[in-house]
């Protein structure tokens, strides 16, 4: 199994303000994100899950929450923490018919922090500019990560980061 964080972040690592992205809508980023996670299991926090209820990402959702034990979506399960979520992901992959063994971590900020030491890769949309916000993507040590692929778009650059196993 491979855990991959997916996020859009501004130059100052801001990812959100009042539950929304703080920059104007970027259709190309939303499209590439949706296509990437569409057929895979995803891990996300309860507030992020609630904000996406009308259009849930991924084929299956693992909702990390300490305050609820179930959610009313047939494709979703709840986990109480990172280890339980990872175990749920392994079970879902074993029981499902997925193209690969990738599980995406979709946020919010606390979930990115919680899974930072567990993720193997990061697919980050680096949005042009700095924005005010209340939620940040966690800082990472550049010595532990390398950019494997970089694709420039209008208003953002998509970078695929891989953990440098030689530095761990």
**pLDDT, tens only, 75-103:** 999 999 999 999 999 999 999 889 899 99
**Cis ω before 108 (30° cut-off from 0):** yes
pLDDT the model gives residue 99 = 82
pLDDT at 168 over 60: no
**Structural domain of 146:** 2-163
Assigned domain for 168 exists: no
50: domain CATH number is 3.40.430.10
How far is the CA of 87 from the CAs of 84, 155, 161, in angstroms? Answer: 5, 37, 24
Count Cα neighbours of 15 within 13 Å in the Cβ-side half-sphere.
20
- Number of domains comprising the chain: 1
């Amino acid at each position: 199994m491979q855990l991959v964080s997916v996020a859009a972040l501004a130059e100052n690592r801001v990812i959100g303000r009042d539950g929304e992205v703080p920059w104007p809508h970027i259709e190309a980023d939303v499209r590439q994100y949706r296509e990437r996670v569409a057929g895979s299991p995803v891990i996300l926090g309860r507030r992020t899950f609630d904000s996406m209820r009308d259009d849930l990402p991924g084929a299956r959702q693992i909702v990390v929450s300490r305050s609820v034990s179930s959610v009313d979506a047939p494709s979703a399960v709840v986990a109480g923490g990172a280890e339980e979520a990872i175990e749920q992901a392994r079970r879902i992959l074993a029981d499902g018919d997925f193209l690969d063994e990738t599980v995406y971590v979709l946020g919010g900020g606390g979930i990115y922090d919680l899974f930072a030491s567990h993720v193997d890769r990061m697919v980050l949309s680096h949005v042009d500019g700095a924005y005010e916000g209340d939620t940040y993507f966690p800082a990472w040590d550049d010595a532990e990560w390398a950019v494997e692929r970089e694709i420039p778009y209008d208003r953002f650059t998509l970078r695929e980061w891989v953990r440098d196993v030689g530095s761990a």
